[in-house]
Structure 1
Amino acid sequence: MSDSMASGDVPEEHDSLGRSTGVEAEEPQDTDLIRRPFDPDKIDVITRTPTVDLLLSRIRHGTLDLEPEFQRQRGIWTDQRQSRLIESLLLRIPLPTLYAAEGEDEIWTVVDGIQRLTAISRFIEPQVNGADRLILSSLEYLGKSYNGASYDGLPGRLQTRLRETELVVHLIRPGTPEEVMFNIFARINTGGMPLSTQELRHALIKGPARDLLRTWSRSTEFINATSGSVREERMADREMVLRFIAFRITSPGDYTSQDFDAFLREAMRSTNTLSHDQRDGLQQEFNKAMQAAGDIFGPHAFRKQYPGRSNRFPINKAIFEAVAVNLATLTDTQIQALVERKDAVNSQFALLMTNQAFERSVSQGTGDVAKVKLRFGQVRELFREVLGD
């Protein structure tokens, strides 16, 4: 066991304000690594300079997607910050570059710049997204003249200046290899913090999976099983739900991916295509697994445990997968038996954590094929032993 494990000093993920997400940090994704050969001729990244008026037209017609939530989760801009962005436009101060991806349907999904576009639309055309109208306040240079002003209260020349302002948009066009596209966006320092892989998946893979992951992660069963300790700012909670779905769609024994992030992207797309009955069936399994985990492991559900130690570790995503998916495959009778023998389950799990191979499988390179198969197999065997199967 490493010194950090012995001291209980396990690194955790943090949001943009430095707050713990309640989830154990995993090794960061290597955003410089392209794992599969690709055709450079298919990389199509262009720079557009649309006017504010054109971007507002796209928002009105639904061809510019402002749905991604990660920037909103990190804190919606205050009226002062939004007002000063409008002031920058009035002063002809260039804004930072926007980044977006264009789908086959020609819809632009904004990955970096949502807050800026939201502020602009809220000031000029608040009806576009149903927001309350922005009234300028706390302006740094133009306050004497325009504090308290709405768009309609500006002189016509300034209204025109705003609408004719050109913004720089780096646009990744359709046909660009997906791995390259995710690689590019992973490097964007949105709001002072690089996007998490789940934030990227949420932004770039549209469909019902977005709402499904959000809903399940806010369910009473999930919140109770995780003791309400998983913060939602970096979408770690939604990634945990996605991992459960991924390994119910693809059995751990059939997992062969050399790119865990690509595996989860494919699972999110598959979730979009599930029938109503399939979604209901998976949700029932998910809720059953969450309830069972809480009943069996209590406050230590989905966390590392070690013999003779009572301190509580942060949630571990790899343990979450292995425990939740294995519980989902058991019958109600088997789960009840594990609940009745929960002391044995917990002591056996703590002993399993002293196994160096298992400990590595939930701590380092957790997407490795061999490590995935090992941790799922070991947890399955632990449950069987306690059940006497």
Structure 2
Amino acid sequence: MESKKNIDVDKLLSSRDESTKKASTRSLDISFNELMDMYKDGELNITPDYQRLFRWSEGARSRFIESLLIEMPIPPIYVVEDEDRKYQLIDGLQRFSSYLHLRGELDAKHLDPSVEKGQFLELRECDIVEKLNGLTFNDLPTSLKIILKRSYVRVEVVKKESDGMLRYHMFKRLNSGGEPLTAQEIRNCTIRMLSPKFMDFIANMAEEKNYRECITNISEKQEKSGFGQELVLRFFALKNDRESFKHDVTDFLTEYAEKASNGKAPFDYEKEEETFKKTFLILKKSLGKKSFGRFGVRDIGSNFSVYHFEAICTGLQTILDRIKPEKEQHIEKIKETLEKIKRDSKFQSATTGGGKNSPGPLGQRIEIVSKGLSGLQL
């Protein structure tokens, strides 16, 4: 059946051909031992943000090593070539890091238990060659050591001549599947391929002391997965580009980070830092760690609601210039007003239940905060 859509075939093919020209790649077969030597010599790099995404269990690492020993096929590894012709790993972190741990070359202090260079993987949970369990690389007979050293993997190289945006999109797509990474973990790696400045700024703001106190009630799991940084990104995206939020908040945040990083969205770093710090100084002084908690039976609970975060942070911008944090009466009025808003039935309706993560309810809850604050006599 022929499509009824009107398609300009020439433009479609031309666009495809133009994109293809931007990609310059080659395939190499390299042993894991060679890759390790390249890594030790600084010719193969893993960025710190990407390395922190290594999270295979010791059992998973061991079963990968077992796969190499019995010569099972393994997926390729992807790298990008920089101007100095060094390689940066963009896919294959779990496998390559497992080999580094086997050889005592892994530095992964973020793991629990942590791993440092000089610590060798003790194989466990191998279910095909069970006699491997309990052994380290140094315990293996010479023949098996050689098999591991000479185990080859296909390495797909995105050459330095390739378009920068193409390399960015390749990393993003390769790392959107496989290990269950959060959107912010992927952003921390991918956006830096466009420019590191914006994401470094987000990371720095996420450590600001007043901000940290206001988000004290996020969970440990959320903290480890980069949620604190994602909230900072959400703050600036909603403040500066809310009209671009149409459907999915994850895509909205990623697209804003892209625009801020590549210059398509103006971003005055000095001014934005001042705004961010003033916002959270006011919130720290007024509600502190209860800034984004829901109102319970008698008081604000010790919980965290992202809907409260969005509404209060964005709504507060309406009168930010009028607030003087050093004046106690200003802080007291902000505190009383925000507590009143949290008790408001319309606000509670816009911040609880399903279906609230869309432009309509978002606009409603921000509007409630904005109106509630704009009438203050300061």
Give TM-score, length-normalised by structure 2.
Answer: 0.67
Structure 1 residues 55, 372: CA separation in 2 closer, same or farther (over 3 Å shift)? farther
Q: Answer with 1 or 2: which has the greater Rg.
A: 2
Give CA-to-partner distance per residue, 1:182-226, whole Å, 9 cap, x none. 56743x241xxx332222212322124444333332332222112
Give the alignment of 1:333-344 within 5 angstroms: 333=324, 336-341=328-333, 342-344=335-337
- CA distance in structure 1 between the aligned counterparts of 2:106 and 2:290, rounded to whole angstroms: 47
Structure 1 residues 69, 165: CA separation in 2 closer, same or farther (over 3 Å shift)? closer
State whether structure 2 residue 150 is matched by structure 1 residue 164: yes
State whether structure 2 residue 65 is matched by structure 1 residue 86: yes
Contact 1:136/1:150 (<8 A) preserved: no
State whether structure 2 residue 95 is matched by structure 1 residue 116: yes
- CA distance in structure 2 between the aligned counterparts of 1:123 and 1:58, rounded to whole angstroms: 16
Give TM-score, length-normalised by structure 1.
Answer: 0.65
Deviation at 1:364, TM superposition (A): 2.8
Give 5+ residue unaligned stretches, structure 1.
1-36
State whether structure 2 residue 231 is matched by structure 1 residue 240: yes
Deviation at 1:299, TM superposition (A): 4.1
Give CA-to-partner distance per residue, 1:76-114, whole Å, 9 cap, x none. 744x7645543442333445x467575887855535x42
- CA distance in structure 1 between the aligned counterparts of 2:234 and 2:29, rounded to whole angstroms: 38
The one of 105, 108, 118 equivalent to 1:133 is 118
* Letter in structure 1 aligned against 2:46: D
Deviation at 1:346, TM superposition (A): 0.5
* Letter in structure 1 aligned against 2:187: R
Contact 1:294/1:301 (<8 A) preserved: yes
Structure 1 residues 212, 150: CA separation in 2 closer, same or farther (over 3 Å shift)? farther
- CA distance in structure 2 between the aligned counterparts of 1:298 and 1:337, rounded to whole angstroms: 16
What is the match of residue 213 of structure 1?
202
The one of 278, 295, 301 equivalent to 1:288 is 278
The higher-RCO structure (CA 8 Å, 6+ apart) is 1
What is the match of residue 23 of structure 1?
none
What is the match of residue 348 of structure 1?
341
State whether structure 2 residue 40 is matched by structure 1 residue 65: no
Contact 1:98/1:169 (<8 A) preserved: yes
- CA distance in structure 2 between the aligned counterparts of 1:230 and 1:350, rounded to whole angstroms: 24
SS at match of 2:275: helix
- CA distance in structure 1 between the aligned counterparts of 2:199 and 2:51, rounded to whole angstroms: 10
* Letter in structure 2 aligned against 1:221: N
Structure 1 residues 374, 144: CA separation in 2 closer, same or farther (over 3 Å shift)? closer
Contact 1:98/1:110 (<8 A) preserved: no
* Letter in structure 2 aligned against 1:290: F
State whether structure 2 residue 201 is matched by structure 1 residue 201: no
Contact 1:296/1:338 (<8 A) preserved: no
Structure 1 residues 66, 265: CA separation in 2 closer, same or farther (over 3 Å shift)? same
- CA distance in structure 1 between the aligned counterparts of 2:166 and 2:182, rounded to whole angstroms: 21
SS at match of 2:90: strand
What is the match of residue 5 of structure 2?
none
What is the match of residue 30 of structure 1?
none
Contact 1:244/1:324 (<8 A) preserved: yes
* Letter in structure 1 aligned against 2:231: M
What is the match of residue 9 of structure 1?
none
What is the match of residue 24 of structure 1?
none
- CA distance in structure 2 between the aligned counterparts of 1:171 and 1:376, rounded to whole angstroms: 47
Structure 1 residues 279, 317: CA separation in 2 closer, same or farther (over 3 Å shift)? same
- CA distance in structure 1 between the aligned counterparts of 2:315 and 2:253, rounded to whole angstroms: 18
Structure 1 residues 84, 272: CA separation in 2 closer, same or farther (over 3 Å shift)? same
Q: Percent identity?
A: 15
Structure 1 residues 50, 180: CA separation in 2 closer, same or farther (over 3 Å shift)? closer
The one of 353, 369, 376 equivalent to 2:366 is 376
- CA distance in structure 1 between the aligned counterparts of 2:218 and 2:150, rounded to whole angstroms: 47
What is the match of residue 16 of structure 1?
none
Give 5+ residue unaligned stretches, structure 2.
1-11, 109-114
SS at match of 1:205: helix
Deviation at 1:235, TM superposition (A): 1.6
Structure 1 residues 349, 53: CA separation in 2 closer, same or farther (over 3 Å shift)? same
- CA distance in structure 2 between the aligned counterparts of 1:184 and 1:120, rounded to whole angstroms: 20
- CA distance in structure 1 between the aligned counterparts of 2:157 and 2:293, rounded to whole angstroms: 41
Structure 1 residues 180, 323: CA separation in 2 closer, same or farther (over 3 Å shift)? farther
- CA distance in structure 2 between the aligned counterparts of 1:257 and 1:145, rounded to whole angstroms: 51
* Letter in structure 1 aligned against 2:310: E
- CA distance in structure 2 between the aligned counterparts of 1:322 and 1:62, rounded to whole angstroms: 47
Give CA-to-partner distance per residue, 1:296-343, whole Å, 9 cap, x none. 23443123336x454627422243133224435334427854421223
